[in-house]
Amino acid sequence: MNIPAFTTLTLKLFGVIFILIALLDFFSLIFPLQMADPQWQLATVTGIVDRGIVPMLGMGLISLGYFVDTMAKTAGTSPKGGFDLRMPIYILAIALGLVFLLLIPVHLTNVNQIKTAELAQLESQIGQGQQQVEGALRQFDALSQNPEALEQQIQEGEQLLAAGQVNGNPLNQEQLANIERQVNELKGLREMSKDPAALKAKMEEIKTNLETQVAEQRQKVESQASNQALKQGLRVGLSSLMLSIGFAAFGALGLRNLLSAPPTPPSAGSTI
């Protein structure tokens, strides 16, 4: 086997291996199907697009192999008994171009659905936290209007701090610090309860601060989710678009050149 023949065979072989590996990888990503899960669709589309360059490289190697054939003046088509890979490769390229084009709206839809779901989940978490704080404020308000219950809770907290244990179980430093903080808050509430106007103003201040923090947190979360969705949509969407254009152009131009090329006469010494 001469050098040009070995080179073209190697290029074609490597090209076929690249394509087969990519197709097997695609099938491993697709199956088992979970079409109802947007997260699965997003991960699958992203994986396919990220691996889309592999079959393109394989097709390029095969085309380069046939180019070496032509430059070496061996034959315009495969030798007798061989199989011309160009026609199926060009058809596969057009099919992949269509697939990557269709993946763009699928990916953008999944990104939007996941973004909406994440925002709804975060909104629910923020709402739960807000309800807990509002519940604590209502509890403080009720305690401020019931001096006996307020005083009882302060005494219970001070007793826990003095004993350093609950039901015979010692309290750690973090638990003691939390109890001390709660006792100090209750004492502050006791002092403010002596001035109803000051207590009302303090409650309104806490409520206003809470609403401000919730609004800032909601805006931050929405901004992060929107930026992440935009980045992911642009990266995968543009990559899929470029792959679609590349495969479609390669397949269409290759088919046109292959179908319009005149038959190549057999080389000297070849049998028919």
- pLDDT tens for 2-39 read 667 788 889 999 999 999 999 999 999 999 889 889 89
pLDDT at 144: 67
* CA atoms of 48 and 28, how far apart (whole Å): 10
Give the other-Cβ count within 10 Å of 46's Cβ.
Answer: 20
The residue that leads in pLDDT, 115 or 139, is 115
- For residue 166, the cross-strand partners are 169
| Cβ-based neighbour number of residue 72 at 10 Å | 14
pLDDT in tens, 155-172: 888 888 888 877 777 888
Residue spans of the domains in the chain: they are 3-121+239-260, 125-224
3-state secondary structure of 169: strand
Chain centre to alpha carbon of residue 91: 31
pLDDT of residue 196: 72
Question: Which pair of structure tokens corresponds to residue 22?
Answer: 């990519």
Q: Give the DSSP letter of residue 165.
A: E
Handedness of CA 146, 148, 154, 156 (dihedral sign): negative
**47-51, 180-184, 238-242, 259-263: the lowest-pLDDT one:** 259-263
Buried b (16+ CB within 10 A) or exposed e, 161-175: eeeeeeeeeebeeee
Structure tokens at 113: 């659905």
pLDDT of residue 151: 80
pLDDT at 224 over 90: no
- pTM attached to this predicted model: 0.70
How crowded is residue 158: how many other Cβ atoms within 10 Å of its Cβ?
Answer: 15
Q: Which residue has the higher pLDDT, 137 or 90?
A: 90
Tens digits of residue pLDDT in 184-194: 877 777 777 77
Percent of the chain's residues with pLDDT above 90: 36
Is residue 177 over pLDDT 80? yes
Of 71, 138, 99, 120, give the one whose Cα is nearest residue 218: 120
Whole-angstrom Cα distance, residue 144 to residue 70? Answer: 94
Residue 265's pLDDT band (boundaries 50, 70, 90)? low
Going by the DSSP 8-state scheme, the letter that residue 37 receives in this structure is: -
Residue 76 pLDDT > 50: no
Q: pLDDT tier at 110 (50, 70, 90 boundaries)?
A: very high
* Rounded Cα–Cα distance for residues 240 and 121 (Å): 30
Element of type H or E holding 261: none
Mean pLDDT computed over every residue of the chain: 83
Residue 103 in contact with residue 263, Cβ under 8 Å? no
User: Is the previous residue joined to 147 through a cis bond, with omega within 30 degrees of 0?
Assistant: no
**Paired sense of beta strands 169-170 and 165-166, if any:** antiparallel
Res 263: pLDDT: 59
Give the pLDDT confidence score for residue 136 in this predicted structure: 72
